[in-house]
Amino acid sequence: MFEKVLIANRGEIALRILRACREMGIQTVAVHSTADADAMHVRLADESVCIGPPPAADSYLNITAILSAAAITGADAIHPGVGFLAENARFAEQAAENGIVFIGPTPDHIRLMGDKIAAKKAARELGLPLVPGGDGPVRDAAEAVAQAAAIGFPLLVKAAAGGGGRGMKIARSDGELPQAVRLAQGEALASFGDPTVYLERFLGHPRHIELQILGDGHGNVVHFGERDCTPQRRHQKVVEEAPSPALNAAERAALGALGVGAMNALGYRSLGTLEFLYQDGKFYFIEMNTRLQVEHPVTEMITGVDLVREQIRVAAGAPLGYGQADIPFSGHAIECRINAEHPRDFTPAPGRVNEYHAPGGLGVRVESGLYSGYRVPPYYDSLIAKLVVHGRSRNECLMRLRRALSEYVIEGIDTTIPLHRDIIAAPAFIDGNIDIHWLERFVAGGG
């Protein structure tokens, strides 16, 4: 097992990883920008290294600075967390070249799944059902119009390098295509440095359902069930739950078998998530994330398995040591992503947290680095806390979540806690009767 792990991330996820390491008796190194010197995980880590100024490009994305910090502190592995360098194949390669284990899959698998066009091609070969779409990239409006004829409208123009819901534009007719292609290409270039886009049929009322898988690279792959991440805003997840209220036992078993089969065929090692849209009883693969997901705690709550610990074990070369039948599923869990944003217009709200009180009690888990007096810096993602609640049934979980949200105090900055209170009181959400477009309508005053 590793002796010392460098955590190449910040915020709640850095703290989450630190806690797993500490329980495993592994020493931790925090790296941080000058804006994060007072962060909770930096205080708790065994060692910390400042790697640069606030802009992520100069700190959390600075591969040379991070690898130097690992060399100086003698770390034998790096956990990349979520976002930043977590899906950067070059970073994984360079870590290995420096004799440091990257806690994640092989660089080849990161690269394959990081290009959504290549990922969809691979998924088709692995037997996963796809959203109907074009075979390859579209370079211009003429190519898009030609491909669109076979796909049909409405359709989505999507960035091959996409992530975080960016670089995605809808086109409802031939006439709208040129502008959608141009806008998606521009956004893709600005966000990912790669303007490649492709076309996909736009599904009108799907749910987002994803499968958590884990492979050990020794021929063993298991799944930990699905997560339902249907409430979204701007293609970004807001509330996640497990199991999905929309699936029956047969559909659940079929999804698990499909995912495990595909990952076995690929020889996948590490944690990974296969994302699907689900509409009218059918699954459509959209992408695979080759990393830990923000919403992993809901899976942990219903299985009792520490997924970060499993990810670290497997990276250290350990075989799983258990099979699918050994993974227990119990009850229901829901996670609310709490952002430092205005709850209605979503303008970012960095600043000082004057008063902080987290909820507690049976079945309540808070993933956050906040404390009274902490200053939320303006430079990064606005996620500041995840409230995760477990109950024996979905109804008990909702009752408990309502109670926990009413206890949560974060004063001094705007947060999306009031939005979450409204979401879980909405009849459509309570009934589990929503699709990925529901939350946008709800926020706009409908739904």
* DSSP-derived 3-state class of residue 222: strand
Distance between CA 415 and CA 341 in Å, rounded?
Answer: 5
Among 275, 381, 396, 422, binds ligand ADP (CB under 6 A): 275
* Identity at 166, one-letter amino acid code: R
Cβ proximity to ligand ADP, 163 vs 350, nearer residue = 163
* DSSP-derived 3-state class of residue 351: strand
The mark string for 386-425 relative to ligand ADP (x by CB under 6 A, - otherwise) is ----------------------------------------
Cβ proximity to ligand ADP, 164 vs 319, nearer residue = 164
At CA 95, angle to CA 91 and CA 101, rounded to 5? 120
Cβ proximity to ligand ADP, 33 vs 273, nearer residue = 273
Phi, psi of 440 (to 5 degrees): -60, -45
Distance between CA 169 and CA 185 in Å, rounded?
Answer: 10
Which pairs with CB-CB distance under 8 Å and at least 24 residues apart come from 124-130? 126/261, 126/262, 126/265, 126/266, 127/258, 127/261, 127/262, 127/265, 128/258, 128/262, 128/274, 128/285, 129/282, 129/283, 129/284, 129/285, 130/284, 130/285
Query: Quick check: 240 and 229 in contact, CB under 8 A?
Result: yes
Q: Any contact of residue 241 with ligand ADP (CB under 6 A)?
A: no
Q: Which of 269, 291, 313, 337 is catalytic?
A: 291
At CA 137, angle to CA 132 and CA 142, rounded to 5? 95
Q: Any contact of residue 203 with ligand ADP (CB under 6 A)?
A: yes
* HSE, side-chain direction, 13 A CA sphere, residue 74: 4
Among 131, 383, 384, 385, binds ligand ADP (CB under 6 A): 131
Q: Any contact of residue 286 with ligand ADP (CB under 6 A)?
A: yes
Q: Any contact of residue 251 with ligand ADP (CB under 6 A)?
A: no
Specify the stretch interacting with ligand ADP by CB under 6 A; choose among 194-202, 296-304, 337-345, 426-434: 194-202
Cβ proximity to ligand ADP, 206 vs 256, nearer residue = 206
Q: Any contact of residue 178 with ligand ADP (CB under 6 A)?
A: no
Q: How far is the CB of 157 from ligand ADP (least distance, A)?
A: 10
Specify the stretch interacting with ligand ADP by CB under 6 A; choose among 121-129, 181-189, 195-203, 369-377: 195-203
Distance between CA 420 and CA 403 in Å, rounded?
Answer: 12
Among 436, 438, 439, 443, binds ligand ADP (CB under 6 A): 436
Cβ proximity to ligand ADP, 156 vs 389, nearer residue = 156
Among 12, 115, 200, 310, binds ligand ADP (CB under 6 A): 200
Cβ proximity to ligand ADP, 131 vs 258, nearer residue = 131
H or E element in which residue 44 lies = helix 40-44
Q: Terminus-to-terminus CA distance in the chain, angstroms?
A: 51
Specify the stretch interacting with ligand ADP by CB under 6 A; choose among 24-32, 201-209, 349-357, 416-424: 201-209
Q: How far is the CB of 304 from ligand ADP (least distance, A)?
A: 27
* Identity at 178, one-letter amino acid code: P
Q: Any contact of residue 295 with ligand ADP (CB under 6 A)?
A: no
Specify the stretch interacting with ligand ADP by CB under 6 A; choose among 16-24, 200-208, 292-300, 370-378: 200-208
Active site residue 233: no
Q: Any contact of residue 156 with ligand ADP (CB under 6 A)?
A: yes
Q: Quick one: CA dihedral 51, 54, 55, 60, positive or negative?
A: positive
Active site residues: 291
Q: Which residues bind ligand ADP (CB under 6 A)?
A: 131, 156, 162-166, 200-203, 206, 208, 232, 235, 275, 277, 286-287, 436
